Amino acid sequence: MDLNNVLSRLEVADGGETEELLRRFNRENNHVFTFDQKEEALRRKLCQSVLSVLGRQVQPACQRTCLETLRILSRDKCVLAPVATREGMMTLGAMARLRAGEDGGDDRNSSREDAPSEEEEERVVVEALKCLCNVVYNSPAAQQVSVEVQLANGLCASLRAARTWHHEVGLFTLRLLFLLSALRPDVRGVLRREWHAVKLLTEVLEHTLDVCWVGPYEAARPDSQALPMPAEDNERAMEALKALFNLTLLDAGEEDDHQFRLIAAILRHLLMLKTETEEKTEEAHSHAINLLNNLPVSCLDVLIDVPVQGGLEKHGGKNVDAVQVLIDFMEKRIDKGSNYKEGLTPVLSLLTEGSRQHREIRRYIKAQVLPPLKDVKIRPEIGTAIRNKLVRLMTHVDMGVKQTAAEFLFVLCKESVDNLLKYTGYGNAAGLLVARGLLAGGRGETQYSEDEDSDTEEYNINPITGHVEEPMPNPIEEMTEEQKEYEAQKLAERDSTHGCQAGRDVSASRRNSP
């Protein structure tokens, strides 16, 4: 489509013709993500023209078409100058009902007799939010303007109405908040302190996941026969988790303890849910694990303290269902065999810190990961058990993966070098021991309870290889008396020869001494 022709016709077109021109442009470019560099200036002018149209009293259908055009154009980082202005961002913010800045939203359509339907208005809001997501992502200038017009305030105001959201409105509101908090670290503190975004996002999660509280930090256990979480709810939940992850990267104060425990309880609830596909369930659990890593480690007791629903007697009254989900998740990620750094290390770090600080968590994980050794004649890195898989990771080429896996097993062994060597062998553990200055043995710095002894004391395990080696046969047992006498004579002659040589070496050294 000839952009020069489009621009010239837009200058004189009425609302209907403008809409038709832009619809044609949208159809032809809907799936275009790489644009002709020669037409860059023309596309920039088209951005400006579309913003001018949006500034007029036009019908919602025309607004939506204009916003679709801007969304397509905003894929090009080089043409966003007209949009990345105060006026441009305020226009989009008003269309998205974000009430950005001091001028508030735009209610120009509210008094018209031919007021648009709720569905038409919703489509305009969704397209405006999509535009803002693209513009904020692709334009540092737009990010700065977003701060100046207090777009974060408008987003948090929208979060307060989350219970009335239509799906896409909620989805792209949360995505925009995630993008802004990811790209502008300085906004995170403002979102937390001034707009209470952590609390608002927690409430969004609580509503989206349909949490029913049966205790202070205890959500009702999901019915195993219940239907999976709907895909739309899962999408919104993941966007909320990503935004919360950004906001909780800051240091937590004591006043946040209740809020963080509430988040941990919601995340425990999420870990027990399943979605419509196994892949989406794993993705949701991955975001939950990332967020759990940001919470104070003291809050992780919420994962096992479930007083109303209780736990099995053999786990000291603690409910370890969520911990088992984390262990299963870890093993799945190991079995994938790729992307260990982003896919595996977060859950390993979470289980490590949980085990270091919470005795019940450590005891349960150790029972699953490092059970009492049975077949001790096989090297620890050989096999399909979870211990074997983790030991193999201790010599992984990626330093971060190697250290995280080794630290996890070390903590499960209560940071005892002797116990670690029995489970892993010196060769596999050498990297950790060098890094911790424990080559000579001993323990790490963390203090652990004296409630467990080694499960391997009864075995004579070679600390170098980590397994019990078959005793070497005694070669003398099968020799005849004549063979024994012959071998003894050879040894005697060799010792005599070595003795004479040693004597000559001593004499020579005396002659040469000063």
Domain residue ranges in the chain: 1-100+118-185, 196-247+257-295, 311-470
Q: pLDDT digit string (tens) for 135-154?
A: 999 999 999 999 999 999 99
- Residue pair 159/97 in contact by the 8 Å Cβ criterion: no
What pLDDT shows up at residue 511? 46
What does the angle CA 407 – CA 217 – CA 200 come to, to the nearest 5 degrees?
95
User: Residue ranges of the alpha helices (H) in 380-477?
Assistant: 386-393, 399-412, 417-424, 426-436
Residue 506, pLDDT > 50, answer no
In CATH terms, the fold of domain 1-100+118-185 is: Leucine-rich Repeat Variant (1.25.10)
Bridge partners of 263, per DSSP, are: none
Q: pLDDT digit string (tens) for 264-315?
A: 999 999 999 999 999 999 999 999 999 999 999 999 999 999 888 877 666 7
Give the residue, 454 or 364, on which the prediction is more confident.
364
Question: CA 66 to CA 68: how far, in whole Å?
Answer: 5
What pLDDT shows up at residue 103? 40
Question: CA 424 to CA 379: how far, in whole Å?
Answer: 8
Instruction: Give the burial class of 73: count Cβ atoms within 10 A of its Cβ; 0-12 exposed, 13-18 middle, 19 or more buried.
Output: buried
Residue 388, pLDDT > 60, answer yes
Confidence of residue 10 (pLDDT cuts 50, 70, 90): confident
Instruction: Give the burial class of 23: count Cβ atoms within 10 A of its Cβ; 0-12 exposed, 13-18 middle, 19 or more buried.
Output: middle
Give the residue, 464 or 276, on which the prediction is more confident.
276
- Residue pair 356/415 in contact by the 8 Å Cβ criterion: no
Bridge partners of 443, per DSSP, are: 416
Question: CA 369 to CA 393: how far, in whole Å?
Answer: 14
What pLDDT shows up at residue 104? 39
Question: What pTM did the predictor assign?
Answer: 0.84
What does the angle CA 50 – CA 56 – CA 49 come to, to the nearest 5 degrees?
20
Residue 182, pLDDT > 50, answer yes
| 235 CB-side CA count, 13 A | 12
- Residue pair 79/43 in contact by the 8 Å Cβ criterion: yes
Mean pLDDT within 495-510: 50
Mean pLDDT within 417-441: 87
Give the residue, 403 or 222, on which the prediction is more confident.
403
Reported as type and span, the H/E element at residue 23 is helix 15-29
What pLDDT shows up at residue 378? 86
93-107, 159-173, 390-404: the lowest-pLDDT one: 93-107
Provide the greatest CA pair distance for the chain: 121
Q: What is the number of other CB atoms lying within 10 angstroms of the CB of residue 47?
A: 23
What does the angle CA 127 – CA 2 – CA 50 come to, to the nearest 5 degrees?
30
Confidence of residue 95 (pLDDT cuts 50, 70, 90): very high
CA distances from 452 to 311, 368, 372, 412, 438 (A): 21, 15, 12, 11, 22
What does the angle CA 180 – CA 269 – CA 300 come to, to the nearest 5 degrees?
80
Give the residue among 355, 312, 205 at the shortest CA–CA distance from 268.
Answer: 205
End-to-end CA gap in the chain: 100
**Token couple for 340:** 């260990």
What pLDDT shows up at residue 439? 76
What pLDDT shows up at residue 502? 43
Q: pLDDT digit string (tens) for 154-165?
A: 999 999 999 999
Question: CA 57 to CA 18: how far, in whole Å?
Answer: 13
What does the angle CA 149 – CA 150 – CA 152 come to, to the nearest 5 degrees?
140
Confidence of residue 109 (pLDDT cuts 50, 70, 90): very low
- Residue pair 470/430 in contact by the 8 Å Cβ criterion: no
